[in-house]
Protein backbone atom coordinates (compact mmCIF):
# COMPACT_ATOMS: atom_id res chain seq x y z
CA UNK A 1 0.00 0.00 0.00
CA UNK A 2 1.40 3.35 -0.94
CA UNK A 3 1.47 6.05 1.68
CA UNK A 4 2.22 9.64 0.77
CA UNK A 5 4.07 11.68 3.36
CA UNK A 6 2.42 14.93 2.31
CA UNK A 7 5.64 16.42 0.99
CA UNK A 8 6.15 17.44 -2.60
CA UNK A 9 9.65 17.29 -4.02
CA UNK A 10 11.07 18.51 -7.27
CA UNK A 11 14.36 17.04 -8.36
CA UNK A 12 16.50 18.61 -11.08
CA UNK A 13 19.28 16.77 -12.86
CA UNK A 14 21.59 19.34 -14.39
CA UNK A 15 24.61 19.44 -16.65
CA UNK A 16 26.27 22.83 -16.81
CA UNK A 17 27.63 23.89 -20.17
CA UNK A 18 31.27 23.06 -20.72
CA UNK A 19 33.22 26.24 -20.23
CA UNK A 20 31.00 27.69 -17.53
CA UNK A 21 33.51 29.30 -15.16
CA UNK A 22 33.67 27.44 -11.82
CA UNK A 23 33.18 30.77 -10.03
CA UNK A 24 29.91 31.27 -11.94
CA UNK A 25 28.73 27.78 -11.00
CA UNK A 26 29.65 28.50 -7.38
CA UNK A 27 27.65 31.73 -7.52
CA UNK A 28 24.63 29.91 -8.97
CA UNK A 29 24.79 27.29 -6.20
CA UNK A 30 24.99 30.02 -3.57
CA UNK A 31 22.06 31.95 -5.03
CA UNK A 32 20.02 28.78 -5.46
CA UNK A 33 20.63 27.68 -1.86
CA UNK A 34 19.68 31.14 -0.66
CA UNK A 35 16.16 30.82 -2.12
CA UNK A 36 15.27 28.82 1.00
CA UNK A 37 15.74 32.05 2.97
CA UNK A 38 13.74 34.17 0.55
CA UNK A 39 10.74 32.08 -0.53
CA UNK A 40 8.69 30.88 2.41
CA UNK A 41 7.06 27.77 0.91
CA UNK A 42 10.48 26.32 0.02
CA UNK A 43 11.08 24.16 3.09
CA UNK A 44 14.33 22.44 2.23
CA UNK A 45 17.04 22.56 -0.39
CA UNK A 46 19.79 20.05 -1.03
CA UNK A 47 22.27 19.51 -3.77
CA UNK A 48 24.88 16.97 -4.69
CA UNK A 49 27.55 16.45 -7.28
CA UNK A 50 27.30 13.22 -9.20
CA UNK A 51 29.92 10.66 -8.17
CA UNK A 52 28.26 7.64 -9.72
CA UNK A 53 30.53 5.14 -11.46
CA UNK A 54 27.63 3.19 -12.97
CA UNK A 55 27.77 4.99 -16.30
CA UNK A 56 24.02 5.52 -16.19
CA UNK A 57 24.19 9.26 -15.49
CA UNK A 58 23.97 10.58 -19.07
CA UNK A 59 26.56 13.19 -18.18
CA UNK A 60 24.49 14.97 -15.55
CA UNK A 61 26.80 16.60 -13.03
CA UNK A 62 24.51 17.99 -10.31
CA UNK A 63 21.29 17.07 -8.53
CA UNK A 64 19.10 19.66 -6.82
CA UNK A 65 16.21 18.78 -4.51
CA UNK A 66 13.62 21.34 -3.47
CA UNK A 67 10.92 20.22 -1.05
CA UNK A 68 7.55 21.71 -0.16
CA UNK A 69 4.71 20.92 2.20
CA UNK A 70 2.13 20.92 -0.58
CA UNK A 71 1.57 21.27 -4.30
CA UNK A 72 0.29 24.77 -3.56
CA UNK A 73 3.61 25.62 -1.92
CA UNK A 74 5.47 24.42 -4.99
CA UNK A 75 3.20 26.48 -7.24
CA UNK A 76 3.78 29.57 -5.14
CA UNK A 77 7.56 29.00 -5.29
CA UNK A 78 7.53 28.34 -9.03
CA UNK A 79 5.70 31.61 -9.73
CA UNK A 80 7.64 33.68 -7.21
CA UNK A 81 9.46 36.57 -8.91
CA UNK A 82 12.72 35.79 -7.09
CA UNK A 83 12.60 32.22 -8.39
CA UNK A 84 11.67 33.38 -11.86
CA UNK A 85 14.63 35.76 -11.91
CA UNK A 86 16.99 33.05 -10.61
CA UNK A 87 15.83 30.67 -13.36
CA UNK A 88 16.27 33.32 -16.02
CA UNK A 89 19.85 34.03 -14.87
CA UNK A 90 20.74 30.34 -14.64
CA UNK A 91 19.19 28.80 -17.74
CA UNK A 92 21.80 30.11 -20.22
CA UNK A 93 24.48 28.13 -18.36
CA UNK A 94 22.70 24.79 -18.58
CA UNK A 95 23.60 22.25 -21.21
CA UNK A 96 20.69 20.02 -20.22
CA UNK A 97 18.21 19.53 -17.44
CA UNK A 98 15.59 16.99 -16.38
CA UNK A 99 12.91 18.01 -13.90
CA UNK A 100 10.69 15.54 -12.07
CA UNK A 101 8.06 16.48 -9.51
CA UNK A 102 6.63 13.93 -7.13
CA UNK A 103 4.86 13.41 -3.89
CA UNK A 104 7.32 11.80 -1.50
CA UNK A 105 5.94 8.34 -0.88
CA UNK A 106 6.78 5.25 1.11
CA UNK A 107 5.39 1.84 0.30
CA UNK A 108 4.05 -0.03 3.28
CA UNK A 109 3.83 -3.78 2.97
CA UNK B 1 30.67 27.25 1.43
CA UNK B 2 29.49 23.74 0.77
CA UNK B 3 28.75 21.52 3.71
CA UNK B 4 28.16 17.81 3.29
CA UNK B 5 25.71 16.21 5.66
CA UNK B 6 27.50 12.85 5.61
CA UNK B 7 24.66 11.09 3.83
CA UNK B 8 25.01 9.47 0.44
CA UNK B 9 21.97 9.29 -1.79
CA UNK B 10 21.36 7.49 -5.03
CA UNK B 11 18.46 8.69 -7.13
CA UNK B 12 17.02 6.63 -9.98
CA UNK B 13 14.78 8.08 -12.66
CA UNK B 14 12.86 5.24 -14.24
CA UNK B 15 10.49 4.69 -17.11
CA UNK B 16 8.83 1.31 -17.10
CA UNK B 17 8.31 -0.36 -20.45
CA UNK B 18 4.94 0.29 -22.00
CA UNK B 19 2.84 -2.78 -21.47
CA UNK B 20 4.32 -3.71 -18.10
CA UNK B 21 1.27 -4.96 -16.18
CA UNK B 22 0.36 -2.57 -13.35
CA UNK B 23 0.33 -5.51 -10.95
CA UNK B 24 3.95 -6.28 -11.90
CA UNK B 25 4.95 -2.65 -11.30
CA UNK B 26 3.16 -2.75 -7.94
CA UNK B 27 5.06 -5.93 -7.04
CA UNK B 28 8.37 -4.31 -8.01
CA UNK B 29 7.61 -1.25 -5.84
CA UNK B 30 6.70 -3.50 -2.92
CA UNK B 31 9.86 -5.59 -3.27
CA UNK B 32 12.01 -2.50 -3.71
CA UNK B 33 10.58 -0.81 -0.62
CA UNK B 34 11.13 -3.98 1.35
CA UNK B 35 14.90 -3.85 0.77
CA UNK B 36 15.04 -1.32 3.61
CA UNK B 37 14.05 -4.18 5.94
CA UNK B 38 16.52 -6.64 4.46
CA UNK B 39 19.73 -4.71 3.81
CA UNK B 40 21.04 -2.98 6.90
CA UNK B 41 23.06 -0.13 5.33
CA UNK B 42 19.98 1.07 3.41
CA UNK B 43 18.71 3.71 5.83
CA UNK B 44 15.79 5.19 3.92
CA UNK B 45 13.79 4.56 0.79
CA UNK B 46 11.36 6.88 -0.93
CA UNK B 47 9.63 6.90 -4.23
CA UNK B 48 7.38 9.19 -6.18
CA UNK B 49 5.42 9.20 -9.40
CA UNK B 50 6.20 12.05 -11.72
CA UNK B 51 3.46 14.68 -11.82
CA UNK B 52 5.52 17.44 -13.41
CA UNK B 53 3.80 19.54 -16.02
CA UNK B 54 7.01 21.28 -17.10
CA UNK B 55 7.65 18.93 -20.03
CA UNK B 56 11.25 18.51 -18.90
CA UNK B 57 10.82 14.93 -17.65
CA UNK B 58 11.89 13.04 -20.78
CA UNK B 59 9.09 10.55 -20.13
CA UNK B 60 10.43 9.29 -16.81
CA UNK B 61 7.55 8.04 -14.67
CA UNK B 62 9.08 7.21 -11.29
CA UNK B 63 11.79 8.50 -8.96
CA UNK B 64 13.43 6.29 -6.35
CA UNK B 65 15.69 7.62 -3.60
CA UNK B 66 17.89 5.32 -1.53
CA UNK B 67 19.94 6.89 1.24
CA UNK B 68 22.97 5.64 3.17
CA UNK B 69 25.17 6.88 5.98
CA UNK B 70 28.34 6.47 3.94
CA UNK B 71 29.79 5.49 0.59
CA UNK B 72 30.78 2.19 2.20
CA UNK B 73 27.14 1.58 3.11
CA UNK B 74 26.10 2.19 -0.48
CA UNK B 75 28.79 -0.17 -1.74
CA UNK B 76 27.66 -2.87 0.67
CA UNK B 77 24.05 -2.42 -0.50
CA UNK B 78 25.00 -2.41 -4.16
CA UNK B 79 26.85 -5.70 -3.84
CA UNK B 80 24.34 -7.35 -1.55
CA UNK B 81 22.93 -10.54 -3.14
CA UNK B 82 19.33 -9.53 -2.30
CA UNK B 83 19.84 -6.23 -4.13
CA UNK B 84 21.57 -7.94 -7.03
CA UNK B 85 18.66 -10.37 -7.39
CA UNK B 86 16.11 -7.52 -7.17
CA UNK B 87 17.96 -5.62 -9.92
CA UNK B 88 18.11 -8.69 -12.13
CA UNK B 89 14.34 -9.27 -11.78
CA UNK B 90 13.50 -5.62 -12.40
CA UNK B 91 15.81 -4.60 -15.24
CA UNK B 92 13.85 -6.36 -18.02
CA UNK B 93 10.83 -4.15 -17.23
CA UNK B 94 12.70 -0.85 -17.58
CA UNK B 95 12.50 1.17 -20.75
CA UNK B 96 15.14 3.61 -19.49
CA UNK B 97 16.88 4.62 -16.30
CA UNK B 98 19.22 7.35 -15.08
CA UNK B 99 21.20 6.82 -11.90
CA UNK B 100 22.96 9.62 -10.03
CA UNK B 101 24.86 9.17 -6.79
CA UNK B 102 25.73 12.14 -4.60
CA UNK B 103 26.67 13.26 -1.16
CA UNK B 104 23.73 15.19 0.24
CA UNK B 105 24.99 18.74 0.57
CA UNK B 106 23.76 22.10 1.75
CA UNK B 107 25.34 25.35 0.75
CA UNK B 108 25.98 27.74 3.61
CA UNK B 109 26.28 31.37 2.69
How many Å apart are CA A36 and CA A45, to the nearest integer?
7
* Chain A residues in contact with chain B using a Cβ-Cβ cutoff of 8 Å: 2, 5, 9-11, 13, 29-30, 32-34, 45-54, 56-58, 60, 63, 97-109
How much is the ipTM here? Answer: 0.87
Q: Which of B12, B3, B72, B64 is nearest to A30 (CA)?
A: B3
pTM: predicted TM-score of the whole model, two decimal places: 0.91
B98: nearest CB among A45, A57, A107: A57
Mean per-residue pLDDT for A26-39? Answer: 95
Q: Per residue in B11-68, pLDDT tens?
A: 999 999 999 999 999 999 999 999 999 999 999 999 999 998 888 999 999 999 999 9
Residues of B with Cβ-Cβ distance to A10 under 8 angstroms: 52
Best of A98, A103, A104, A109 to disrupt the B interface (most B CBs within 10 Å) is: A98
**Average model confidence (pLDDT) across chain A:** 93
How many Å apart are CA A88 and CA A22, to the nearest integer?
19
Amino acid sequence: MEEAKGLVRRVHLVKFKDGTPPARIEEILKNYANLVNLIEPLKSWHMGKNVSIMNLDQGFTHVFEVTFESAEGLAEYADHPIHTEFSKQTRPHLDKVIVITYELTVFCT
